[in-house]
Amino acid sequence: MSTRDPYQAGSASRVGRKRTVGQYGQACLPCFKNKSKCVRQDKADSCERCIRLKKECSSAESLRKRAIQKPFDAAATIANLKAKVDSLNTLLNEVVESSGSSSALRDILEERQRDKEPLYETRELPISDRTPTTSSDWKLSPDKEQARLSIFRERMLPFLAFVDLPPDLSAQELRDERPLLFQAIMTVTSPSAQERRARGNELKSTITQRTWGGIDTSLDLLLCILTYLCWGYDTFINSVTISSPSRLTQIAMAVAYDLRVDTSGPIGSYLFPSEVISAGLVPSRSRSPEETAQEKLQNKRAILGCFFLSSLTASHYRRMEPMRWTPQMEEYLDTLGRTKECVTDEMFCLQVRLQALAQQVSAEKDQRQLERYQMISNLTPGNSTEPLLNRWYLEALQRKIHEITALIPQHLKSNEILLSQLYYTSLSIYETIHPVSADVENTPSFNISSTLDERDCHYRTLQAIRSFFDNFSRFTSLHWAGFPFHFWAQSVRCTAVLIKLSVPADHRDEVRNTVDVLTVVDSISERIKGAAIEIGETSPEDLFGKFYRASRALYAYISAKLQPPPEHQQTLLPYTEAPVWNDSGFDPGSIDATQMLMMQWLGFNDPIASAAMSYSSPALYYNYMPGM
């Protein structure tokens, strides 16, 4: 019996040729990589393993020879370098002919980069299988962009007109002139929470890069930040901390300072003259006097809008210091009120004047609270002249607000937007003289004044709240859909003060007969639901869906604080059992971040315990019929 290897015998008999094993270092690359024996037949081009696996049998020596034989094309390399130099010269000439600014250079570079991008199709998942995460996933047609611009200009901007957008301005023109503002408008006018989240994240990234990346700031950047602050609702859309608006506001203030519009003294008096700094630079394009005047007016509107929002943000979140009111800002108001270049300038200036007074009152309130706490901690006797000082200070503030009221023209005396600011400022004045404590029934008053003065101030505070919410009820659901941040902040403060006035049992009925806080919150819930329908929201996770759930949680919380009637009386209230957005009611054990945020806004630190007290009330799980 033969002991010969059958494979070798068979192969030798079939092939009939001599088989040799490659010497060390002469194996082909596939065999070398696989650490296999490279067996090659005489005069064969490939080894047996490569033939069997149908692979290309090539040695390292052949590859080296191929590389050596490849000629070096020096002429092509030189031509390529010459083309790059010519392209660079052309680019520099274009910058010199335009403006010579860094922004012009950046625009040209971006345009050339877009031209050089390869045109190819990439495989994408179906829309149903992926969630859009960037703004490129939400591309809009020109008609939709124009529609969103019209919505912003007609429904949202009148609440705080810090920018002039003429009616004949198209979306494409705005994109070309102010791309960041255009991006912000497309973000805040989206009815989808997913789109707002995607666009908002990209917008904040752009703001950060422009601010801290060494790129020159501009009016476009400031307007972009102000727009997103007003209508972006970053805290609710992205579920970020309540410090986010304060940080964005501080960025806006930094941009405003870079624009040299928030300075109370000589501009750059301690710096080198601008002629020295700009020596050797290419001179910028000269502008006509009309263009320069328009740019100055836009700057003044933007800085006044920045002051307005910084003041509201600082007083609402208590996490930053607002912009200082300077004589230069007073000059801005006089200029805008005198020129009336934009139809909304007159009302905008009145809003800013009222907010400046409210900020002055807020600063006085903080100072008074500090003095009172110091008095209590030091156990020093109170100042017997404080009641007289309170009366004088109140009369001075009343004179100021009457002076501003006298400036209101006849056609704006019934304007809901302006009246809201007027009533809010009145509330700030009276609530500063005698603050309403959250626990009036348990905490002694810090005020050393007569009971008559305190009750009179509380009565005037209650009347201001009533006027505020009566005026608020005149806004339609379409108006609510365009509310900016400061409208919500003002309504939250009025609601918080009203709750504090309604809690003490000694005058609870008097407050309820004047303004019923539960009726106010219930009406707000209905308007929020109507606003969601107006803008086309379809999910309870959209913006107004979250607002609605937070308002119902607030309703349950207030009901517990006010000690609602027994359960057998609650069953007599009419209700409809049809749930809204598949939400069967408020569960105190499932307060989410949005509802907790609303409670923190109102100054109550333990909403879960209080809300749980009303969990057994079935009427709170349904929506009351309108008009009942």
Average pLDDT over residues 75-101: 67
Task: Tell me what pLDDT residue 109 has.
Answer: 55
Distance (Å, rounded) from C-alpha 606 to C-alpha 194?
A: 31
Residue 275, SS3? helix
Say whether pLDDT at 2 is over 80. Answer: no
H/E stretch holding 428 reads: helix 416-433
Distance (Å, rounded) from C-alpha 188 to C-alpha 157?
A: 11
Residue 59, SS3? strand
Interacting residues of 574 by C-beta distance below 8 A, sequence separation 6+:
624, 625, 628
Q: Which band of pLDDT confidence, cut at 50, 70 and 90, is reported for residue 136?
A: low
Out of 2-11, 285-294, 533-542, least confident range: 2-11
Structure tokens at 483: 């509310």
Structure tokens at 292: 């320069």
| 613-623 per-position pLDDT tens digit | 333 232 222 22
Task: Tell me what pLDDT residue 339 has.
Answer: 85
The pLDDT > 70 percentage for the chain reads 64
Name the DSSP letter for residue 619: G
Say whether pLDDT at 121 is over 50. Answer: no
Helix axes 517-534, 485-502, angle to 10 degrees: 160
Interacting residues of 455 by C-beta distance below 8 A, sequence separation 6+:
none
According to DSSP, the residues that pair with 59 across neighbouring strands are 28
| 320-333 per-position pLDDT tens digit | 889 999 898 999 99
> Using CA atoms in the order 546, 552, 557, 562, what is the torsion angle rounded to 10 degrees?
150
H/E stretch holding 19 reads: strand 19-21
Task: Tell me what pLDDT residue 240 has.
Answer: 67
Cα torsion angle, 408, 412, 414, 419, sign: negative
Q: Which band of pLDDT confidence, cut at 50, 70 and 90, is reported for residue 394?
A: confident
Structure tokens at 465: 């709240």
Share the mean pLDDT of the chain.
74
Residue 47, SS3? strand
Distance (Å, rounded) from C-alpha 446 to C-alpha 382?
A: 10
Average pLDDT over residues 203-211: 89
Say whether pLDDT at 492 is over 80. Answer: yes
Report the candidate in 502, 542, 538 with the shortest Cα–Cα distance to residue 519. 502
Report the candidate in 490, 492, 486, 489 with the shortest Cα–Cα distance to residue 308. 486
Task: Tell me what pLDDT residue 536 has.
Answer: 82
Say whether pLDDT at 465 is over 80. Answer: yes
Q: Which band of pLDDT confidence, cut at 50, 70 and 90, is reported for residue 62?
A: low
Out of 119-123, 263-267, 407-411, least confident range: 119-123
Contact 441, 504 (CB under 8 A): yes
Contact 328, 264 (CB under 8 A): yes
Average pLDDT over residues 67-89: 68
Distance (Å, rounded) from C-alpha 488 to C-alpha 591?
A: 20
Higher pLDDT, 614 or 375: 375
Q: Which band of pLDDT confidence, cut at 50, 70 and 90, is reported for residue 347?
A: very high
Buried-exposed string 486-519: b where 16+ CB fall within 10 A, e elsewhere: bbbbbbbbbbbbbbbbbbeeebeeebeebbbbee
Out of 78-92, 235-249, 403-417, 524-538, least confident range: 78-92
Higher pLDDT, 21 or 219: 219
Say whether pLDDT at 421 is over 80. Answer: yes
Interacting residues of 93 by C-beta distance below 8 A, sequence separation 6+:
none
Count of alpha carbons within 13 angstroms of residue 332, beta-carbon side: 28
Task: Tell me what pLDDT residue 574 has.
Answer: 34
Q: Which band of pLDDT confidence, cut at 50, 70 and 90, is reported for residue 111?
A: low
**399 residue type, one letter:** R
Average pLDDT over residues 251-255: 91
Higher pLDDT, 38 or 26: 38
Say how far residue 358 (Cα) sits from the centre of its chain.
24
Task: Give alpha helix (H) positions in 99-170.
Answer: 102-116, 142-151
Average pLDDT over residues 324-349: 91
Out of 60-64, 412-416, 485-489, least confident range: 60-64
Say whether pLDDT at 26 is over 50. Answer: yes
* Predicted TM-score (pTM) of this structure: 0.67
Average pLDDT over residues 566-576: 39
Backbone angles phi, psi at 39, to 5 degrees: -105, 120
Task: Tell me what pLDDT residue 44 has.
Answer: 77
Structure tokens at 201: 């994240």
Q: Which band of pLDDT confidence, cut at 50, 70 and 90, is reported for residue 388?
A: low
The three-point CA angle 180-184-190 to 5° equals 150
Say whether pLDDT at 165 is over 90. Answer: yes
Average pLDDT over residues 478-492: 91
Structure tokens at 395: 């009369």
Say whether pLDDT at 123 is over 70. Answer: no
Task: Tell me what pLDDT residue 104 has.
Answer: 55
According to DSSP, the residues that pair with 583 across neighbouring strands are 580
Q: Which band of pLDDT confidence, cut at 50, 70 and 90, is reported for residue 221?
A: very high
**459 residue type, one letter:** Y
Task: Tell me what pLDDT residue 216 has.
Answer: 63
Environment class of 145 (CB within 10 Å of its CB; exposed 0-12, middle 13-18, buried 19+): buried
Environment class of 206 (CB within 10 Å of its CB; exposed 0-12, middle 13-18, buried 19+): middle
